[in-house]
DNA sequence: CACCTGACAAATT
DNA sequence: TAATTTGCCAGGT
């Protein structure tokens, strides 16, 4: 079932992110075939609210917690990521270079 | 039915 | 170097 819609694929990839790792919208979008569809990826996560996806492991290109506002609170994502062993550069920025995970690996 | 918005990114001016 | 524009997909108004 590796083929539904862009939307469902996003959930698939996000659900496959290993604990202690993070990925970016651009990488997911590129893996789906459209490097510029990053906004649709974020859109999918928003719609995935309640699907049980680790959306906190998805950050923007700079490692910034973009979705913290729609998550339920800025501290929620931060705390979750810290609990998984993610290193933070800032209170809303993770060490993307250190924990970057690419789909398909 | 047509236009706008939205957790982004990369290229161009 | 910074600011602006376009691309992507789906849903809401």
Å from A67 (CA) to C12 (C1')? 20
pLDDT digits (tens, 9 = 90+) for A75-86: 899 999 999 999
DSSP chain A: ---S-HHHHHHHHHHTPPTT-BEEHHHHHHHHT-TTTHHHHHHHHHHTTTTT--GGGEE-TTSB-TTHHHHT-HHHHHHHHHHTT--EEETTEE-HHHHB--TT-
pTM, two decimal places: 0.92
Q: Where are the domains of chain A?
A: 2-99
Nucleotides of C under 7 A from a protein CB: 6-11
A64 closest-nt by C1' vs CA: B7
pLDDT per position as a tens digit, A26-64: 999 999 999 999 999 999 999 888 788 999 999 999 999
Q: Give the CATH fold of the A2-99 domain.
A: Arc Repressor Mutant, subunit A (1.10.10)
């Amino acid at each position: 079932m590796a083929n539904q819609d862009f939307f469902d694929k996003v959930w698939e990839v996000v659900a496959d992110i290993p604990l202690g790792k993070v990925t970016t919208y651009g990488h997911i979008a590129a893996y789906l075939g459209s490097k510029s569809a990053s906004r649709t990826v974020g859109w999918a996560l928003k719609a995935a609210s309640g699907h049980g996806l680790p959306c906190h492991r998805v950050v923007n290109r700079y490692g910034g917690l973009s979705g913290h506002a729609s998550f339920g609170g800025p501290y929620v994502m931060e705390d979750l990521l810290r609990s998984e062993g993610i290193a933070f550069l800032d209170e809303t920025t993770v060490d993307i270079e250190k924990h970057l995970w690419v789909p398909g690996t």
